[in-house]
Structure 1
Amino acid sequence: MAVSDALLAAVPRSPSSGIKALARLGFAAIGVVYLLMGVLALLAALGQRQGARPDKEEAVQRLQEVPGGSVLLGLIAVGLLGYIVWRFTQAIRDTEGKGSGAKGLGTRLWFVASGLFYSGLALYAGRLALQGRAGKGGDAPQSLTAKVLGWPGGDWLILLVGVVVIGIGLFQVYRAFSGRFKSDVNASSLSATQQQVVYRAAQVGLTARSIVVALIGYFLVQAGQQSRAGAVGSTGEAFDLLAAMGPAALGAVAAGLIAYGLYMLVQAKYPVLRGI
């Protein structure tokens, strides 16, 4: 499936399908971002893009180089906003039936956090689409961390956040090998062989993504332990660390992120959208 086809397939056909269409466009946009990020990381592992950091913003920026790049960037921005809308819908309307207990509220807050995670990237893609340029927000995490470290007990709070982020990464591994992710794709239209390919891609992709998330959590732990905002890192720093481990480590994670991107494109085409 071509990238543009995957994105355009999710464009709303009628007002009544608006939220579902936004969710699908969101899945597709995330899939494209991870696909591009994985390709950039793989090229870096092969020594083809020395000095280029394969983070999310760099991946989005590469779309400027393809024909119709501004349109694709606009679709990416709208798609990421659509994903945020869908996550907020899940939280507010409790589409997953999690309830109002402590565990349910925690899960619904996670939906909100998961959506907001892509807000900065959505803004970045939108500015690129409209203006052709946009300043990267690479210093934002360090600036925020510096403020928190200035609070009483701020170093412990940053350390705690790092541990939580590592836990999120480990939970992604659990989702990958427990099979819980299978409920994210409506596989009724897929053959048994196709289902196996999709599920294996999801397992590999979720595992690779969990490594990147866990590394970001590790950076936060280091920042808390050292009381040093400069120790904080995002996706780009995670790839830098993987590159320092050798091309095999970077290449393996890169291939996994490509698999995750493809899985998200499949989810965009065959989504499971409850409660709407």
Structure 2
Amino acid sequence: MTAANRSCLELLARLGYAARGTVSLIIGLLALLAALGRGGGTTGSKGALLTLLSQPLGNLLLAAVALGLFGFSIWRALQSVLDADGLGTAPKAIVIRFGQAVSAAIYFSLGVFAVSLLAGWGYGSGNEEQSAQDWTAWLLAHSFGRWLVGAVGLAIAGAGLGMAYKAWTASFKQHLGCGGDTARWVVPLGRAGYAARALVFLIIGAFLVAAAYQSDPSEARGLGGALLALQEQPFGRALFGLVALGLAAFGAFEFVEARYRHIAAPEGAEIGKVTRAGLV
């Protein structure tokens, strides 16, 4: 890989972190406005893209975010398949790299949705709650469907626990190239963001396990549904507000990652091997 190609890949990865930050920031700010009684609402990633499109220069902004989402998907694939972060092949590393592969697929599909919005095709498919319930119903209709839905729920809850660990240990620092005064505010920002995402993922996972146990797809929830579930708990409004603030903090933290994260683009020979094997 030439230096120019490596620079292009790094730029795509950084744009990807910024795109993910934009989506999370919109979700968090909308939820925070709802918690404060100033409008807003609960939504997921697709709803955030719809909101972005409705803004002045929305087409231009959404096109930039779509490019970033595809760039982030590519970077996640390189992290997973080529071990761009140097995690190794220990069991824990394999689990993390598998999660990165799943993340690559998710952000690629989100990029496709963004492009469909730009083309005027995707407006009717932005209901993430219905989408979650539809694919849950599809899985439940198959043999061992309840086990599959339960496994997905446990995997999502496991991802939530992983985020909680990051929030507790601030292990994300090892991938950042900032220190001193910058680190003093970046670390709390990252901790707040990962803690909020951990709680949301745990709620989504719990609802999927409930859907599997009851064989009822209507129990499934997306991100927006998880936020609504928080409001229904004791002290729900305060908890909902804190989580909304945390999601917005994660969005801001992603812009920090876009600037300071270590991006180690794999060598061209490595990418060629994987391409010839049909893996990317």
Identify the TM-score tier after normalising by the shorter chain: 0.7 to 0.9
With structure 1 as the length reference, what TM-score do the two structures score?
0.87
- The CA deviation string for residues 202-221 of structure 1, in whole angstroms up to 9 with x for no partner, is 00110001111111101101
Structure 1 residues 152 and 65: alpha-carbon distance in aligned structure 2, compared to 1, 3 A threshold: closer
Q: Distance in 2 between matches of 1:16 and 1:45?
A: 43
1:237 aligns with 2:228: no
Residues 114 and 132 of structure 1: is their aligned pair in 2 closer, same or farther, counting only changes over 3 Å?
closer
What's the CA shift string for 1:226-274, capped at 9, x where partnerless? Answer: 0011111111111111222332111100100111111000110112112
Q: Does 1:65 align with 2:54?
A: yes
1:5 — aligned with what? none
After superposition, the CA RMSD in angstroms is 2.0
Q: Does 1:251 align with 2:246?
A: no
2:10/2:265 contact within 8 Å kept: no
Of residues 131, 140, 143, the one that matches 2:131 is 140
Is 1:90 equivalent to 2:79 in the alignment? yes
Q: In the alignment, is residue 48 of structure 1 matched against residue 70 of structure 2?
A: no
SS of alignment partner, residue 53 of structure 1: coil
Deviation, 1:171, is 1.3
Shift of 1:140: 2.6
Matched, 1:165 2:156: yes
Pairing 1:86-125 to 2, within 5 Å after superposition: 86-100=75-89, 102-125=91-114
Gap change, CA 1:236 and 1:108, over 3 Å in 2:
same
Contact 2:29 2:248 in 1 (8 A): yes
1:181 equivalent in structure 2: 172
Contact 2:24 2:247 in 1 (8 A): yes
Name the SS for the 1:171 alignment partner: helix
Q: Does 1:217 align with 2:205?
A: yes
Q: Give distance in 1, aligned partners of 2:89 and 2:168.
A: 28
How far apart are the structure 2 equivalents of 1:270 and 1:101?
Answer: 27
Aligned to 1:263: 253
Kindly state the Cα deviation for residue 49 of structure 1 after the two structures are TM-superposed: 2.0
Structure 2: unaligned runs, 5 residues or longer: 267-280
- Between the two proteins, the alignment pairs up a number of residues equal to 260
User: Per-residue deviation at 1:165?
Assistant: 1.3
Moved more, 106-115 or 132-141: 132-141
Percent of counterpart pairs with the same letter? 34
Provide the secondary structure at the position in 2 that maps to 1:47.
Answer: coil
- Find the aligned partners of 1:185 and 1:170 in 2 and give their Cα distance: 22
Match of 1:35 among 20, 25, 34: 25
| Residue type of the alignment partner of 1:233 | R
CA-to-aligned-CA distance 1:169-198 (integer Å, 9 cap, x gap) = 01111111112111232115xxx2321100
Q: CA deviation at 1:151?
A: 2.5
Task: Give the CA deviation at 1:275.
Answer: 4.5
Displacement of 1:163 in angstroms is 1.8
**Pair 1:251–1:103, CA change in 2 (3 A):** closer
Q: Which runs of 5+ in 1 are unaligned?
A: 1-12
Contact 1:159 1:224 in 2 (8 A): yes
Q: Are 1:70 and 1:130, in contact at CA under 8 Å, matched by a contact in 2?
A: no
Amino acid aligned to 1:174: Y
Q: Distance in 1 between matches of 2:60 and 2:265?
A: 31
Q: Which amino acid aligns with 1:82?
A: G
Range moving further from structure 2, 142-151 or 228-237: 142-151
